Structure 1
Amino acid sequence: MRVIVADCSAEYTGRLQASLPLARRVILIKADNSLLIFSELGSYKPLNWMVAPCTIHDITPDPSDHDPSTPVPEKIIKVTADKTSDILEVTFQHIYADNTYDLGEDPGLIKDGVEDHLQRYLAEQIERIGEGARLVRREFPTAIGPVDIMAVDAEGTHVAIEIKRHGGIDGVEQLTRYCELLNRDPLLAPVRGIFAAQTISPQARVLAEDRGFECLLLDYDEMRGVEDDSLKLF
């Protein structure tokens, strides 16, 4: 990661035209050559950027190529998109810091209570979908992607379970596609669906029930054995 603090201006040309006037900013250049320009205030999003795949050209300006009445920039960084004609050119009038850091491999963001945790706990507690239920497997493979959990209920019917943190219409549509595909397999059919989430929007619940799916609310703290610390009378 390269971090530059500088007085700079920028011009973006290509599918859109945009410019940033001269001001003090922070420029991040990632290992894949993506360049992002940030200001001190405002949104967390960059003011302008060019994402990979792209090529960076680090240019030291020649004073003879510039108007004598204007100051010569210390540096120009030109970023060209590899697949389009887009160009982002950053002109540095004064550089306060230009440092490169090796951040190593990032393990990624780990969130507590995300779908993977919910999936694991529900697989371990599969009787939450009904007494006598048995787990077939997590990440049950299909031609259009894995079903979060495949189980068999007490009657021997296969159950496809789609798990979300916050259940919306997109999740119901995803479960619909899985069940339509699985029900074409005579060794599995009939397959019923369960839409499981920590919260389910009213619209998603109506759609799920209209399509014959059961909705199951998941209490993450209860599933992982966290006791409620709230005061109880009994």
Structure 2
Amino acid sequence: MRVVIASCSVDYSGRLDAHLSRATRLIMVKADGSVLVHSDGGSYKPLNWMSPPARLAELEPDDDDREAGVVARWEVRAAKTEDRLVIRIFDVVSDSSVELGVDPGLTKDGVEAHLQELLAEQIEVLGSGYRLVRREHPTPIGPVDILARDAEGAAVAVEVKRVGGIDGVEQLTRYLDMLDRDPLLSPVQGVFAAQQIKPQARVLAQDRGIRCVVLDYDALRGMDDPSSRLF
């Protein structure tokens, strides 16, 4: 990972246009190709970012930028769309890189881990004819919760959450991109499964062609029979 603190301005163009005026910010360049721009507020959320797969090019500033005091121009281009992130750097406070290695992944709480186990055992909850390939299927950026095949034999990657938010959809999107590079699996469908899925996460998932499935924990545990409910 490369971490840069610099005075910079940021312009994003593509599905939407956005501009950040010059200020001192934190720029993170991750090994998966993502680039994130943070301020000293707003909790964990970046001000702007480019999701992988993407390509970063460090360019010399043009005459207009040089006159404005720009010392470096970064262009980050998405691999599959026309989206582009341009970061103009005026002054670098610090610039460091470190190899983080392979992350072991998040240790999930009991409910989330149990949901994954139960869904793997009852994979046809996702659809008739589904069959389990394996749990914790490895990718270069960490394991996807479940890899399955649907009734037609197509590969399906499933990410399981207790409460499904935007971060979970982004995580599954990264896994799908990695899995799609395997000719034995491609094209890989995505399923985002959770006890509760937040509205924004559902919209983002649907926009990316990812199917959302709400899981009934009690029914999976055999403690509730949905067919016997009055409502």
TM class by shorter chain equals 0.5 to 0.7
2:84 aligned with 1:87: yes
- Between the aligned partners of 2:11 and 2:116, the Cα distance in structure 1 is 47
Residue aligned with 1:115, SS: helix
How much is the aligned-residue C-alpha RMSD, in angstroms?
3.4
Distance 2:131 2:103 in 1: 26
Q: Map of 1:52-71 to 2, 5 A cutoff? A: 52-61=52-61, 65-66=63-64, 70-71=68-69
Structure 1 residues 5-28: Cα deviation after superposition (integer angstroms, max 9, x where no partner): 000000001110000000010000
Query: Aligned-pair distance for 1:111?
Result: 2.3
Counterpart CA distance in 1 for 2:161 and 2:33 is: 34
Identical positions, percent: 40
How far apart in 2 are the matches of 1:13 and 1:170? 34
Q: CA 1:141 to 1:48, structure 2 compared with 1: closer, same or farther past 3 Å?
A: closer
Tell me what 1:186 maps to.
none
Deviations along 1:93-118, one digit per CA (max 9) or x if unpaired, are 00011111100000000024133357
Tell whether 2:228 aligns with 1:212.
yes
Tell me, yes or no, if the aligned pair for 1:164 and 1:171 is still in contact at 8 Å. Answer: no
Task: Please give the alpha-carbon distance, in whole angstroms, between the structure 2 residues aligned to 1:90 and 1:164.
Answer: 34
1:96/1:170 CA distance change after superposition, 3 Å: same
Q: CA deviation at 1:66?
A: 2.8
TM-score norm. by structure 2 comes to: 0.55
Q: What's the TM-score once normalised by structure 1's chain length?
A: 0.54
Give unmatched runs, 5+ long, in structure 2: 133-159, 164-194, 197-212
Distance 1:141 1:67, change over 3 A: closer
Structure showing greater radius of gyration is: 1
| SS of residue paired to 1:106 | coil
Match of 2:214 among 170, 177, 188: 170
Report the Cα offset of residue 141 of structure 1.
Answer: 5.8
Q: Structure 1 residues 171 and 26, CA, compared in 2 at 3 Å: closer, same or farther?
A: same
